[in-house]
Chain A
Amino acid sequence: MTRTHQTATEPQLWDDETLDWLEAEAIYILREVAAQFQRPALLFSGGKDSVCLLRLAEKAFRPARFPFPLLHIDTGHNYPEVIAFRDARAKELGERLIVRSVEDSIRRGTVRLAHPLESRNRHQSVTLLEAIEEFGFDCLIGGARRDEEKARAKERVFSLRDEFGQWDPKAQRPELWNLYNGHIPPGWHVRAFPISNWTELDVWRYIARERLALPSIYFAHERPCVRRGRLLAPVTPLTPPKEGEVVEPVWVRFRTVGDMTCTAPVESRATTVEAIIRETAETMISERGATRLDDQTHEASMEQRKREGYF
């Protein structure tokens, strides 16, 4: 008598065929940037999307050094774990990291805050444009994805910005086949998005497949929070509880990391990449809907920021 051996098999965590396709396209786009521009830079914040970009850049350019520096626009309101990770990763790769900070723009007077604890998220645009001018960058590579937000869903892979860093969604260049056109007027620059066609789930699957390290706050941990409507707001020195709010320890993880004042964690017990993949596949709330305190106010707040030079 034969005995069938039943084992509880995990559902497949990723699909190599799709990831290979997305990876090959992203490498192609990175190499187009290297070939078509004089002074590109890759925006590296320490977040999960830019972590993927670094692995893709290794696949595109090794054994050579990257043909561009890494650039981070630091709002001064980042989680310390993320900044430590950013520096360690750049060092490990042996690549040049340029940091420009909103704090310096405030000191120069080019950024003026309405009040000291105001979110610095939108002010990044000013510091970014100052860095572009300082270094003469003609292309910035970013980890934005079209599934993040409805204005991003409309954006080209090579997205033109005028001298003021403005995006004009009504006058985008036709972008045919994979013939990305990097010819631009003097003073303009391009924002290039190699992982445009990736979804949040693709990013996590790639992180799992490539065994990429991430800042610890992406994984579930206990942290003091307050509940604001549907969102959880982390309690930090920069984001103290408001009057009447109850601080409670909650098991959370961050789906996206950014400025402390506008990034909310989600409740989760997922302490591994595999658990996060399972949660991401099942969630009914979008990444931005669950995590951004600043996108809730207006139907088109992202588009408006992008028109002003925001990434």
Chain B
Amino acid sequence: MSDVLRFMTCGSVDDGKSTLIGRLLYDTRAVLVDTLEGVSHASERRGLSRIDLSLLTDGLIAEREQGITIDVAYRYFSTGRRNFIIADAPGHEQYTRNMVTAASTAELAVLMVDVRQGLTTQTRRHALLCELMGIPHLVIAVNKMDLVGYDPEPFAAVQAAFETFAVQAQLRADRRYLPISALEGDMVVERGERMPWYHGPTLLEVLESVPSAHTGKAESFRFPVQWVCRPQAADDPTLHDYRGYAGMVASGSVAVGDAVTVLPAGLATTVLAIELGGRSLTAARAGQSVMLRLQDDLDVSRGDMIVRSDEPLPAVTRTLVADLAWLANGPLDPRRVYGLRQTTREVKAKIDSIEYRWDVASMRREDVDTLTANDIGRVRVKLSAPIVAERYEQDRALGAFILFDPATGDTVAGGVIREWA
């Protein structure tokens, strides 16, 4: 039985992210013959003497023009021990929002560092964004070891510099350091013979062994109502009074007969039935998309949250303290009202105050009046209606939100809940 691990690669531009993914796919034999031929022809047309593995993922015209990654490419491979979904994220500052997109669903990040460049501002920004997005496992892949003669000293220097930074930035993710050459393939899938001084696992060994989020701990039952099923128009009169609440179980589990509470209203009832595609289930657990039917005819709609009455009730609040990654090209306007989407609930939101912004270069907290593209900052948010809140580190599903611009619909920020009043 295998499971799925979602991971991403990130780091500064030109540190070799796409080449690493190409190498992983190539060495695990996940690249099919015709794809490889296409990449081989494209490499030849560019006058390269060897196959450019980065062309396996940089598929857009503009990316190939410029030799950079613009948007996240998702790739799939399996080793028999595990299935992997890779998000190859861009390094350019201009495309940070796409890196954040990849980070939001990743359980592990491979942060690439060019051994000759050491830590850049963008390396630090990406490490902070991984931390903000709550990625539990960080692999610092010190790349281009071939260009420093596979010497252990520059590798040790990068490791020391990153540890200093990690302590300063209070990173909580577990950290592993790997010397690699994505170009030559050392320590990616094969160990190679050029770094006998390194005794740790290869990248693939790390990927195959870290615990994935699906094997996580039991938590309280949280069920955001996604869609209300009322098949009144059906030809079947027995369905006239049918009322099902569709959604994905965000955490915990529930069984038929359990006492539940509907939030934010606080209405109490019991679970009458749990269904999937018209079939009855006795229980449902985290990650399952199901339909719940309740004993009493309550007013429940999309955006409401069903929880178990015998478990600790979550907070219901109209104010939040949150960290934001500002993703829009235009700045945050504290005078404006934004839309806030958390689970399946949408409310209006105003930024009450900006507590600080991280200066990524100096790692200092700065006083600012606004946040601009790619900034990370802490804010206080006032909401038009209550939401069922949880701290992001407790619950990734209830602790996350996006802000959107009501005029254009565009997503302008990703946020994680730290506390509430």
Whether the pair A60, B239 counts as a contact (CB closer than 8 A) is no
Nearest CB of A to B384, in Å:
16
| In the complex, chain A residues whose CB is within 8 Å of the CB of B408 | 185
Which candidate, B59-67, B158-166, B200-208, B260-268, is the interface stretch facing chain A? B59-67
Whether the pair B42, A299 counts as a contact (CB closer than 8 A) is yes
Contact (A27, B242) CB under 8 Å given A63-B229, A174-B97: no
Contact (A150, B59) CB under 8 Å given A18-B4, A35-B226, A286-B34: yes
B238-271, CB under 8 A of A: which get 1 and which 0? 0100101011100000000000000000000000
Whether the pair A24, B289 counts as a contact (CB closer than 8 A) is yes
| Interface presence of B189 (CB below 8 A) | no
Contact (A176, B104) CB under 8 Å given A24-B248, A289-B32: yes
Which candidate, A126-134, A165-173, A215-223, A261-269, is the interface stretch facing chain B? A165-173
| In the complex, chain A residues whose CB is within 8 Å of the CB of B342 | 179
Q: How far is the CA of A175 from the CA of B71 in the complex (A)?
A: 11
Q: How far is the CA of A304 from the CA of B410 in the complex (A)?
A: 24
Which candidate, B109-117, B141-149, B358-366, B396-404, is the interface stretch facing chain A? B396-404
Partner of A63, one of B97, B226, B278: B278
Whether the pair A31, B62 counts as a contact (CB closer than 8 A) is no
| In the complex, chain B residues whose CB is within 8 Å of the CB of A284 | 32-33
| Interface presence of A181 (CB below 8 A) | yes
| In the complex, chain B residues whose CB is within 8 Å of the CB of A18 | 2-4, 83
Chain B 19-78 residues near chain A, CB threshold 8 A:
32-35, 38, 42, 57, 59-62, 64, 70-76
| Interface presence of A83 (CB below 8 A) | no
| Interface presence of B377 (CB below 8 A) | no
Whether the pair B226, A31 counts as a contact (CB closer than 8 A) is yes
Chain B 118-176 residues near chain A, CB threshold 8 A:
none
Please report B residues at the A interface, Cβ cutoff 8 Å. 1-4, 32-35, 38, 42, 57, 59-62, 64, 70-76, 83, 85, 97-98, 100-101, 104-105, 214, 226-227, 229-231, 233-234, 236, 239, 242, 244, 246-248, 276-278, 287-289, 302, 327, 339, 341-342, 344, 396-397, 400-402, 404, 406, 408-411, 414
A58-88, CB under 8 A of B: which get 1 and which 0? 1111111100000000000000000000000
| Interface presence of A101 (CB below 8 A) | no
Whether the pair A21, B97 counts as a contact (CB closer than 8 A) is no
Nearest-neighbor residue (CB-CB) of B105 within chain A:
A177
Q: How far is the CA of A285 from the CA of B242 in the complex (A)?
A: 48
| In the complex, chain B residues whose CB is within 8 Å of the CB of A174 | 97-98, 100-101, 327, 402, 411, 414
Partner of A153, one of B33, B57, B276: B57
3 nearest CB pairs, A to B: A150-B59, A183-B409, A289-B34
Q: How far is the CA of A206 from the CA of B327 in the complex (A)?
A: 37
| Interface presence of A245 (CB below 8 A) | no
Whether the pair A153, B59 counts as a contact (CB closer than 8 A) is yes
Whether the pair A169, B75 counts as a contact (CB closer than 8 A) is no
Contact (A170, B230) CB under 8 Å given A18-B4, A150-B59, A299-B38: no
Whether the pair B2, A15 counts as a contact (CB closer than 8 A) is yes
Whether the pair B214, A31 counts as a contact (CB closer than 8 A) is no
Q: A154-B59, A181-B411, A185-B409 are in contact. List 15 more A-B contacts (CB 8 A).
A: A15-B1, A18-B2, A24-B248, A24-B287, A31-B227, A32-B226, A61-B246, A153-B73, A154-B60, A154-B71, A172-B98, A177-B105, A177-B402, A178-B248, A181-B402
Whether the pair A63, B231 counts as a contact (CB closer than 8 A) is yes
| In the complex, chain A residues whose CB is within 8 Å of the CB of B231 | 63-65
Whether the pair B402, A176 counts as a contact (CB closer than 8 A) is yes
| Interface presence of A303 (CB below 8 A) | yes
Can you list 27 residue pairs at the A/B interface with Cβ under 8 Å?
A18-B83, A21-B214, A21-B287, A23-B289, A27-B289, A32-B226, A35-B302, A59-B277, A61-B246, A65-B233, A146-B74, A146-B75, A153-B59, A174-B402, A174-B411, A175-B101, A176-B400, A177-B396, A177-B402, A178-B248, A179-B341, A183-B406, A185-B409, A286-B35, A289-B32, A290-B34, A303-B61
Whether the pair A176, B411 counts as a contact (CB closer than 8 A) is yes
| In the complex, chain B residues whose CB is within 8 Å of the CB of A9 | none
Contact (A35, B32) CB under 8 Å given A176-B411, A300-B60: no
| Interface presence of A184 (CB below 8 A) | yes
| In the complex, chain A residues whose CB is within 8 Å of the CB of B227 | 31, 34-35
| Interface presence of A243 (CB below 8 A) | no
The listed residue with most B CB atoms (<10 A of its CB), out of A154, A184, A283, is A154
| Interface presence of A111 (CB below 8 A) | no
Whether the pair A176, B289 counts as a contact (CB closer than 8 A) is no
Q: How far is the CA of A63 from the CA of B240 in the complex (A)?
A: 11
Whether the pair A150, B73 counts as a contact (CB closer than 8 A) is yes
Partner of B59, one of A27, A34, A173, A300: A300
Whether the pair A196, B74 counts as a contact (CB closer than 8 A) is yes
Nearest CB of B to A183, in Å:
3
Whether the pair B234, A176 counts as a contact (CB closer than 8 A) is no
Q: How far is the CA of A150 from the CA of B21 in the complex (A)?
A: 14
Nearest-neighbor residue (CB-CB) of B235 within chain A:
A94
Q: How far is the CA of A106 from the CA of B214 in the complex (A)?
A: 51
Whether the pair A285, B34 counts as a contact (CB closer than 8 A) is yes
Nearest CB of B to A297, in Å:
12
| In the complex, chain B residues whose CB is within 8 Å of the CB of A179 | 341-342, 400-402
Nearest-neighbor residue (CB-CB) of B61 within chain A:
A300
| In the complex, chain A residues whose CB is within 8 Å of the CB of B406 | 183
Nearest-neighbor residue (CB-CB) of B37 within chain A:
A289
| Interface presence of A147 (CB below 8 A) | yes
| In the complex, chain A residues whose CB is within 8 Å of the CB of B401 | 179
Partner of B104, one of A15, A35, A150, A177: A177
Whether the pair B239, A63 counts as a contact (CB closer than 8 A) is yes
Contact (A183, B248) CB under 8 Å given A170-B70, A172-B98, A174-B101: no
| Interface presence of A197 (CB below 8 A) | yes
| Interface presence of A199 (CB below 8 A) | yes
Nearest CB of A to B394, in Å:
15
| In the complex, chain A residues whose CB is within 8 Å of the CB of B101 | 156, 174-176
Whether the pair B246, A299 counts as a contact (CB closer than 8 A) is no
Q: How far is the CA of A39 from the CA of B152 in the complex (A)?
A: 60
| In the complex, chain B residues whose CB is within 8 Å of the CB of A251 | none
| Interface presence of A92 (CB below 8 A) | no
| In the complex, chain B residues whose CB is within 8 Å of the CB of A63 | 229, 231, 234, 236, 239, 242, 244, 278
| In the complex, chain B residues whose CB is within 8 Å of the CB of A146 | 74-76
Contact (A28, B289) CB under 8 Å given A64-B229, A289-B32: yes
Whether the pair B62, A169 counts as a contact (CB closer than 8 A) is yes
